[in-house]
Amino acid sequence: MKWFGKLKEFGVMGLNARNGSYVLPNNPRKLYPLVDDKITTKKLTQSAGLNVPELYGVFQAQHELKKLPALLQKHDSFVVKPARGAGGNGILVITGKLGPRFRKPDDSLVAEDAISFHISNILSGMYSLGGMPDKAMVEYCVQFAPIFKDIAYQGVPDIRIIVYKGIPVMAMLRLPTRESDGKANLHQGAMGCGIDMRSGTTTSAVWKNDNCTHHPDTLHPVAGVTIPDWPELLKQAALGYSVTGLGYLGVDIVLDKNMGPLILELNARPGLAIQVANRCGLKHRLDKVDGIYQSLHTEEQRIQYAMDNFGS
């Protein structure tokens, strides 16, 4: 099987290798609750001094929905999400109000009752890992940085950074599209752009498993966009390891136009599409880290190593 040999040559890693060689040995099961529940993650990262979107409210039981009208009255824009959701499922983004109704990123309108029903579904476990009863979070709706205005469609882009033993090894920019309903999740139709680790500049891109050069909705080129404050984003990602103790970690960060980098969530089982977006396998980079990580003792050293060794 020639294709298998080629993938191995380029260091492309599959799910079995990720799970068996990296997730299981480096992510103790007892630490999973730190990242599997977004409320726990938010408290953990905040206590470490990292920036996160403000939490407006939490709903833990159906009877608490009576508090929803008072909460919604205070905010024109917000995001509703399940605390234990995965893959971007169950996230409802509200960008504004029009009279008694609320506007979604695609300009469609929803009533307060629809938001209440959505939260009720979250609590029932419709979107949670394993279908277990869940909690619903209502939090600040990120206002994305202007640099992304030409390459994001009705939603907020985010940056996924893979961190191995405290060292950022690969990154991609995830861009919302019409198909993804404004969400930055590749499985729902978002676009993934590889990022040069030295400069923070976008390189190649993939959309629905096809190589692309332009955003499918805005038609603007997606390569050559330099992400502001790139070393700071790498530092925030590296701190994710220090905070959780997870040796193989995905860190999702957004750039807010007013507040700068905000950590959205941490993932103990990050997906592998990042390799396709970067046209580069992970394994060779992980092997390099295995040979050096014990001599790198601070976030600054780890970040510098990443920028020096994992650029284009």
User: For the segment 89-108, what is each residue's pLDDT rounded down to a tens digit?
Assistant: 899 999 999 989 999 988 89
At 222 the pLDDT is 94
At 64 the pLDDT is 96
Does the structure show a pLDDT above 60 at 129? yes
Rounded to a whole number of angstroms, the distance between the first and last alpha carbons of the chain is: 29
Tell me the backbone φ, ψ of residue 298, rounded to 5 degrees.
-125, 160
Q: Once rounded to an integer, what is the mean pLDDT over residues 125-137?
A: 89
Does the structure show a pLDDT above 90 at 136? yes
Q: Once rounded to an integer, what is the mean pLDDT over residues 77-100?
A: 90
At 311 the pLDDT is 77
Nearest to 182 by CA among 104, 115, 235: 104
Give the integer Cα–Cα distance in Å for 206 and 194.
8
Token pair of 233, please? 């984003």
Q: CA-CA distances (angstroms) from residue 156 to 15, 174, 287, 302?
A: 28, 9, 33, 28
Nearest 5°: the CA angle 191, 158, 248 is 100
Residue 6 — pLDDT band, cuts 50, 70, 90? low
Token pair of 182, please? 């404004």
Percentage of the residues of the chain whose pLDDT score is greater than 70: 97
Per-residue burial over 239-268, b = 16 or more CB atoms within 10 Å of its CB, e = otherwise: bbbebbebbbbbbbbbbbeeebbbbbbbbb
Average pLDDT, the chain: 91
At 7 the pLDDT is 59
Does the structure show a pLDDT above 50 at 263? yes
Nearest to 34 by CA among 311, 236, 265: 265
Give the integer Cα–Cα distance in Å for 141 and 251.
19
Does the structure show a pLDDT above 80 at 182? no
Q: Once rounded to an integer, what is the mean pLDDT over residues 102-120?
A: 94
Residue 3 — pLDDT band, cuts 50, 70, 90? very low
Percentage of the residues of the chain whose pLDDT score is greater than 90: 72
Does the structure show a pLDDT above 60 at 2? no
Which is more confidently placed, 146 or 23? 23
The one-character DSSP state at 154 is S
Q: How many helices (H) and strands (E) does the chain have?
A: 11, 14
Q: Is 17 exposed, middle or buried (0-12, 13-18, 19+ CB in 10 A)?
A: middle
